[in-house]
Amino acid sequence: MRPLFLAALLAILPATVGAAPPVGERPGASVAAAGTEPKRAATMKGLVEPRLALSSEVGSPVRVALTFDACSGKTDHRILSVLVTNRIPATIFATARWLKRNPDTAALLKANPDLFEVENHGAMHVPAVDRPGTVYGIRAAGSPDAVAAEVAGGADALEKAGFPAPRWFRGATARYTPTAMEAIGTMGYRVAGYSLNGDDGASVAAATAEKRLAGARDGAVVIAHINQPDRAAGAGVARGILALKARGVTFVRLADAAEEAGGKTGH
Q: Select from 41, 61, 65, 44 the least CA-distant residue to 53.
A: 65
CB 30 within 8 A of CB 36: yes
Span 135-147, pLDDT tens digits:
999 999 999 999 9
* Percentage of residues in the chain having pLDDT higher than 90: 75
CB 44 within 8 A of CB 133: yes
Q: Taking 90 as the threshold, does the pLDDT of residue 266 lie above it?
A: no
Residue 127 vs residues 35, 52, 88, 136: alpha-carbon distances, Å: 26, 18, 29, 10
Tell me the average pLDDT of the chain. 84
pLDDT score for 259 = 63
Task: Please give the Cα distance from 28 to 5 (Å, whole number).
Answer: 24
Instruction: Give me the domains of the chain, ranges plus CATH numbers.
Output: 6-14+25-260 (3.20.20.370)
- Rounded mean pLDDT, 172-189: 97
Find residue 66's DSSP bridge partners: 222
CB 115 within 8 A of CB 89: yes
Question: For the chain, what's the residue count?
Answer: 267
Whole-prediction pTM: 0.83
pLDDT score for 199 = 98
pLDDT score for 151 = 98
Q: Select from 206, 196, 255 the least CA-distant residue to 27.
A: 196
Task: Please give the Cα distance from 79 to 232 (Å, whole number).
Answer: 12
Give Cα 72 distance to the centre of its chain.
Answer: 14
Span 194-250, pLDDT tens digits:
999 999 999 999 999 999 999 999 999 999 999 999 999 999 999 999 999 999 999
Residue 204 vs residues 70, 158, 181, 212, 245: alpha-carbon distances, Å: 17, 29, 28, 10, 22
CB contact set of 95 (below 8 Å; sequence gap of 6+): 70, 71, 72, 121, 122, 123, 124, 125, 154, 157, 172
Interior CA angle at 266 toward 149 and 153, to 5°? 15
pLDDT score for 257 = 80
